[in-house]
């Protein structure tokens, strides 16, 4: 059980049947909030993400370690009658179950919400699918790349004169995990009021489409598709990456005050009343011309020098950091987004912390990501299984201990 009683989900038991990224992201967020997360894995391969390795990686891939800290692993064959019965015993004492199988898989296993609700009417059952649980593509499998393409995100990303590109992060997967955690917490509030559990769900499609607010606004209002603009914004200028003498930086002059402040800092107050730039729509229309003028001035100073000057004038600006530069930055450390956690092999590793601050605390679950089947025996004991039962389950191969 959770050892952090001050956390809001302390004492909540979560059975995670989800794998790879979206579901495990959800589970890690719940663990950070104090929940006890038990990861049900197949044997002998476990979560498919355990195989996502680059040459030189340790036995447990860094990507798996990153989003599975704070959990325990139970290797259980739920395809067998014995394994299914074990899971049902866990469900009777659980608060949440998460899964991200294709629509129909849990039904075939006899583990759909309709099957588990009679076992535990208070259970919150969370499904994450590729395309949603209804509609003509409901049974189609989905991956982050596919749904970023399907949703229009990739088509709108990249330079105008080049092929579209995928953003450098897994937007659909990560956002689906966050939305699933929000749905679970909302259902938990409902259960506290009524005593009733419920089936909640989201999908990679919904998570990706939720990121397209401004793309949709443009399309619904004009019937036009948003064109690729590199780092520029379709509705605001200047709001993009610019070159300084030693690197790249961003300037976000998104309102009149910031625009005027930027012109003053750059030493060109005449731009404020220039008819090419004096209105937001004009600045968007003449974006390319404005970019050339700005970069001609920025070339006389470094990124750090300009950022300091813009900050002093209240103009939003910042450096274009690499991932490493962002992770090493003292501000990132100050808000707790880099943490030290045990690596499970006697050492320590760095990870991404929780993005949530509660009552001034941003405390992440620091138990290391589990080895496959590492906690099988201890989980079953915690759920009331006798040692003789556990031994028999292991002898039959239904349960494995890593």
Judged by DSSP in three states, 55 sits in coil
The tokens for 52 are 């996502």
Question: At a CB cut-off of 8 Å and minimum separation 6, what does 241 contact?
Answer: 230, 231, 248, 249, 250, 320
Question: At a CB cut-off of 8 Å and minimum separation 6, what does 38 contact?
Answer: 13, 14, 15, 16, 71, 72, 73, 74, 90, 375, 379
Distance CA 265, CA 24 (A): 46
Between vectors from CA 254 to CA 248 and to CA 260, what angle results, nearest 5°?
90
Q: How many CB atoms neighbour CB 49 within 10 A?
A: 18
Query: What is the per-residue pLDDT for 2?
Result: 46
Pick among 3.30.1330.10, 3.40.50.10540, 3.40.50.1220, 3.40.50.2000: CATH of 13-211+331-400: 3.40.50.10540
- pTM to 2 decimal places: 0.95
Give the phi and the psi of residue 251 in degrees, each rounded to 5. Answer: -125, 130
Q: Is 20 exposed, middle or buried (0-12, 13-18, 19+ CB in 10 A)?
A: buried
Question: What percentage of the chain has pLDDT greater than the value 70?
Answer: 99
Q: What CATH topology corresponds to 248-319?
A: formyl-coa transferase, domain 3 (3.30.1540)
Report, as residue numbers or ranges, the catalytic residues. Answer: 173
Domain boundary assignment for the chain: 13-211+331-400, 248-319
The tokens for 61 are 């891939």
pLDDT in tens, 170-205: 999 999 999 999 999 999 999 999 999 999 999 999
- Residue 4: is its pLDDT beyond 70? no
Mean of all residue pLDDT scores within the chain: 96
CA 246 centroid distance within chain: 33
pLDDT in tens, 40-81: 999 999 999 999 988 888 789 999 999 999 999 999 999 999
SS (H, E, C) 12-31: CEEEECCCCCHHHHHHHHHH
Closest CA to 94 of 182, 197, 7: 197
Question: What percentage of the chain has pLDDT greater than the value 90?
Answer: 95
Judged by DSSP in three states, 121 sits in coil
pLDDT in tens, 347-379: 999 999 999 999 999 999 999 999 999 999 999
DSSP 261: H
């Amino acid at each position: 059980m959770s050892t952090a009683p001050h956390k809001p989900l302390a004492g909540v038991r979560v059975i995670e049947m989800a794998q790879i990224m979206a579901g495990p992201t959800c589970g890690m967020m719940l663990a950070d909030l104090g929940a006890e997360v038990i990861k049900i894995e197949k044997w002998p391969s476990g979560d498919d993400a355990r195989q996502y390795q680059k040459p030189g990686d340790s036995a447990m891939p860094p990507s798996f370690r990153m989003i599975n800290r704070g959990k325990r692993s139970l290797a259980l064959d739920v395809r067998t009658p014995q394994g299914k019965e074990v899971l049902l015993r866990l469900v009777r004492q659980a608060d949440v179950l998460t899964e991200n199988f294709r629509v129909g898989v849990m039904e075939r296993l006899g583990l759909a919400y309709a099957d588990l609700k009679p076992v535990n009417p208070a259970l919150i059952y969370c499904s994450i699918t590729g395309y949603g649980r209804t509609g003509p593509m409901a049974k189609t499998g989905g991956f982050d790349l596919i749904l970023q393409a399907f949703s229009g995100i990739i088509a709108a990303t990249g330079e105008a004169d080049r092929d579209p590109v995928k953003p450098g992060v897994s937007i659909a997967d990560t956002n689906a995990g966050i939305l699933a955690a929000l749905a679970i917490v909302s259902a938990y509030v409902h259960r506290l009021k009524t005593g009733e559990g419920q089936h909640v769900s989201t999908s990679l499609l919904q998570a990706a489409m939720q990121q397209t607010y401004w793309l949709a606004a443009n399309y619904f209002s004009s019937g036009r598709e948003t064109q690729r603009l590199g780092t520029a914004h379709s509705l605001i200028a200047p709001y993009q990456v610019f070159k300084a003498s030693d690197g790249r930086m961003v300037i976000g002059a998104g309102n009149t005050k910031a625009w005027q402040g930027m012109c003053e800092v750059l030493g060109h107050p005449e731009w404020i009343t220039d008819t090419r730039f004096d209105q937001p729509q004009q600045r968007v229309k003449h974006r390319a011309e404005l970019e050339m003028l700005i970069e001609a001035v920025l070339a006389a100073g470094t990124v750090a020098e300009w950022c300091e000057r813009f900050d002093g004038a209240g103009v939003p600006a910042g450096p274009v950091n690499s991932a490493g530069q962002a992770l090493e930055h003292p501000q990132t450390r100050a808000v707790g987004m880099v943490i030290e956690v045990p690596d499970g092999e006697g050492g320590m590793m760095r990870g991404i912390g929780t993005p949530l601050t509660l009552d001034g605390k941003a405390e992440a679950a620091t138990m290391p990501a589990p080895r496959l089947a590492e906690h099988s025996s201890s989980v079953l004991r915690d759920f009331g299984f006798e040692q003789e039962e556990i031994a028999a389950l292991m002898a039959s191969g239904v349960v494995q201990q890593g």
